Chains A and B, each alone.
Chain A
Amino acid sequence: MNTANLSAAVPPATPGTPGEWIRIHPLAVRITHWINALAILVMVASGWRIYDAAPIWNFTIPNGLTLGGWLGGALQWHFAAMWVLAANGLAYLAYGLFSGHLWRKLLPITPRAVIHDVLEALRGRLAHDDLSVYNAAQRAAYLAIILDVVLLVFSGLGIWKPVQLQGLTALFGGYEGARIVHFAAMALLVLIVLVHIAMVVLVPRTLPSMITGRARRIS
């Protein structure tokens, strides 16, 4: 692998010696990443149980994939984990905005670069030599996760508080509209997370570095 395989749209990796250990994920990002992963898992699994109590469409989620045992249990999980998701998300966004981490890692991003890198990835030609620099496909995926979770939080608030926050609920087309948006945003999130996990399986050394924060430079 060499840097020629890196996307042309992404700036070249910071210079260094191959094999040296570099710090790629700050502690704040690693902590919020794993708390978020757990919160999302709880929110999705309990949300599926809640969905099953009054399915919007002509299918239900198998009980084995859900959390809470019954509607009341699922609601308790959902309304407990939402505080974890929100507090952790705010902490991540505050860190990312004030440290500049968000801009540095996720921007710039152009549609052209995203299409280019997604096609490269599908051909198995997208290199991950320097894990400290995200390619355009990663940037798009991570930005999409952030925006989608924000949408989930707001559509969820619209469902939870259709009277107190009726202006917000109206933005989603009312209570029933907010339910559909909440479900669609969940489906998109699950899809992105599945691709995310598949990419980790394909490039396994990204997993330890999300725990230790470090990775070896390859080139």
Chain B
Amino acid sequence: MLTGCDVTNNETVDKVLWSMSRWNDRAQATLFSPDKLAVEYPESAIANPFPFNAYYTEDEIRTVDGTSYKLELGGLIRDARSWTLPELYALPQVSQVTRHICVEGWSAIGKWSGTPFRAFLERIGADTTAKYVGFKCADDYFTSIDMATALHPQTLLAFRFADRILPPKYGFPMKLRVPTKLGFKNPKHIAAITVTNTYPGGYWEDQGYNWFSGS
């Protein structure tokens, strides 16, 4: 298996493939419609059990202590104070039953509940004209999304899965649910959120997965 940034062992081919991937980012940003909603399903369609997936195996799932947990904010945010879990749980909550599509090809329908990310960004005074929102996670995962997707009405800061507090394997204490992007763009165990104009990349994105990865 090839590692790092080398998708092939030929430097020129590798460069062409990476620039095509950046071109695909722009093509997908153009194709992205800010108010096109992902299909919602009846609750009977929810997958049980819902598959676990991460860059590590199930026996390495991190446990986050909810009592000492604080969500850190940084970057282009006016009110960058950190948030405790009870404060986050007190935010207005909505639910969605949508299809999670993995970059590997499989898909599963799940139910996530949480607060619309757009409202949260507005509440903390994020600069919504910035290009990126970056996420750092308690399991050392990191990723980033475009601002248009961050403001999409179905993008949720999710605290519950199937009406129960997120279990560790689905990302306790919170994950970003983005039904308009592939699964690896839905970070779990979020510890810090940054609003920035500097491309933050991501764990998989830096290795070759397409950054935009919109559905």
Contact = CB atoms under 8 A, between A and B. Distances in A.
Interface of A: 50-51, 53-54, 56, 68-73, 75-77, 79-80, 83, 161-164, 166, 175-176, 179
Interface of A is mostly: helix
Contact of B33 (A79, A164, A175): A164
B106 A164 contact: no
Interface in B1-49: 1-2, 7-8, 16-18, 20-21, 23-24, 31-33, 36-39
A161 B20 contact: no
Given A69-B8, A70-B2, A162 B99 contact: yes
B38 A163 contact: yes
Interface stretch (B60-68, B125-133, B205-213): B205-213
B20 A164 contact: no
B92 interface: no
Contact of A76 (B1, B18, B37, B99): B18
Contacts, number: 84
Nearest to A162: B215
B110 interface: no
Nearest to A51: B105
Contact of A73 (B2, B36, B101, B215): B2
B116 interface: no
Interface residues of B, number: 35
B208 A161 contact: no
Counting chain A CB atoms within 10 Å of each CB, which of B38, B39, B180 scores highest?
B39
Counting chain B CB atoms within 10 Å of each CB, which of A54, A68, A76 scores highest?
A76
Contact of B1 (A70, A79, A163): A70
B75 interface: no
Nearest to A84: B20
Contacts of A164: 31-33, 36, 180, 214-215
Contacts of B210: 75-76, 79
Interface string B98-110: 0101111111000
Contacts of B173: none
B105 to A, nearest CB: 4
B114 interface: no
